[in-house]
Chain A
Amino acid sequence: MEEIIADKRIDIRGLKCPYTFVRSKLAIESMTSGEVLEITMDYPEAAVSIPKSMQDHGQRVLSVDKINGTDWVILIRKERD
């Protein structure tokens, strides 16, 4: 499978809800449609809530991966403004 290259990366480790989503949403709003955002985060609930909220807002969740004992990497493709 072709590796997806992110157009923008944010590291929001240390942030809790709702700021995990607030920061992710601001990042996606500043991008153009079709671009991919990579979010690195460590707040367990956000690993579920960010993908769900992004989908609710019309964005596409490409992957949610736990990369080590504490951190997740989420890839989101911007589909709409």
Chain B
Amino acid sequence: MAFTEDQFTDDQIIRYSRHIILPEVGGKGQTKIAAAKVFLIGAGGLGCPISYYLTAAGVGEIAIVDDDVVDLSNLQRQILHSTKTIGMQKVDSAKAVLNALNPDVEIVAIKERLTPDNILGYIKDYDIVIDGSDNFPTRYLVNDACVLAGKPLSSGAVLRFEGQVTTIVPGQGHCYRCLFEEMPPEGLVPSCQEGGVLGVLPGIIGTLQAMEVLKLILGKGDVLMNTLLIYDALKTNFRKVKVPKNPECQVCGTHPTITKLGSYEANYCRA
């Protein structure tokens, strides 16, 4: 990409100066960040820190999809929302804060639930997909859609004191089904009474996801391809687990059985 200094305004040079100074970023890298378009699923515990940092970083366009409204019980961890925005659509509450942080970034607020029918139409216009959802059906839907569409995916999950992050690059590394072939049966998924989370945890996992996304955009460093990073907050322990690509994988294997998006219904407690 040809780089000229006049790609930045004086204010942008000041705003992004700590990026530009880095040899791995520079003006060229900041130009890549500004040209990037990412699609984020969820404006909740993970989606808030992810979109906050990517907006601060100057990512060109961030689409956020979420059909939920802000609830008082969200505010212990969902840092874009506030007491004043309770009852508001989460994507609108998030957009107002993100626009105030950095008007350079185009925030596209989508008040919908992702389905097998609409997801491919949405993600086709974006470079990277980020899963900040809180449920298994969406996680599998997003994984399968990204593999079918060939879109890199940052996937994160949190529960109680443990978080997981992985980066899926279709055609190159593993996918979520290489790791966990099928959705867990109902009884193994924690109910809403069991599913607490210490509020800082999604902040840590979400910022790790934002970092993975920036590295994908810049083409620098090693992302969590073929790797699951597990964070144990109580023990303050980060552990990397190798996840080889499964040649028998139903969606990304040599002879896939999932070639289009089917049904992702499951009867989990979604409170």
Contact = CB atoms under 8 A, between A and B. Distances in A.
Interface string A15-29: 000110111011101
Interface residues of A, number: 13
Nearest to B6: A30
Contacts of B3: 29-30
A13 interface: no
A57 interface: yes
B8 A25 contact: no
Interface stretch (B15-23, B89-97, B159-167, B250-258): B15-23
B120 interface: no
Contacts of A29: 3, 5, 26-28
A29 B4 CA distance: 8
A25 B26 contact: yes
Interface in A42-81: 56-57, 81
A26 B14 contact: no
Interface residues of B, number: 14
A57 B23 contact: yes
Nearest to B19: A22
Given A25-B26, A29-B28, A19 B4 contact: no
B183 interface: no
Nearest to A56: B23
A30 B13 contact: no
B5 A26 contact: yes
Given A29-B26, A29-B27, A22 B5 contact: no
B13 A25 contact: no
Nearest to B20: A22
Contacts of A30: 3-5, 27
A25 B26 CA distance: 8
Contacts of B5: 26-27, 29-30
Interface string B53-88: 000000000000000000000000000000000000
B17 A22 contact: yes
A18 B18 CA distance: 9
B8 A26 contact: yes
A26 B13 contact: yes
A44 B6 CA distance: 27
B180 to A, nearest CB: 41
Most chain B beta-carbon contacts within 10 A, residue among A18, A27, A30, A81: A30
A21 B3 CA distance: 17
B27 A26 contact: yes
A19 B27 contact: no
B46 to A, nearest CB: 32
A18 B27 contact: no
Given A27-B5, A30-B3, A18 B13 contact: no
13 contacts: A18-B18, A19-B14, A21-B21, A22-B21, A23-B13, A25-B20, A26-B13, A26-B26, A29-B5, A29-B26, A29-B27, A30-B4, A81-B28
Given A19-B17, A22-B20, 7 more contacts: A18-B18, A19-B13, A23-B13, A25-B26, A26-B20, A29-B3, A30-B3
Interface of B: 3-5, 8, 13-14, 17-18, 20-21, 23, 26-28
Closest 5 CB pairs of A and B: A26-B27, A29-B27, A22-B17, A26-B5, A30-B4
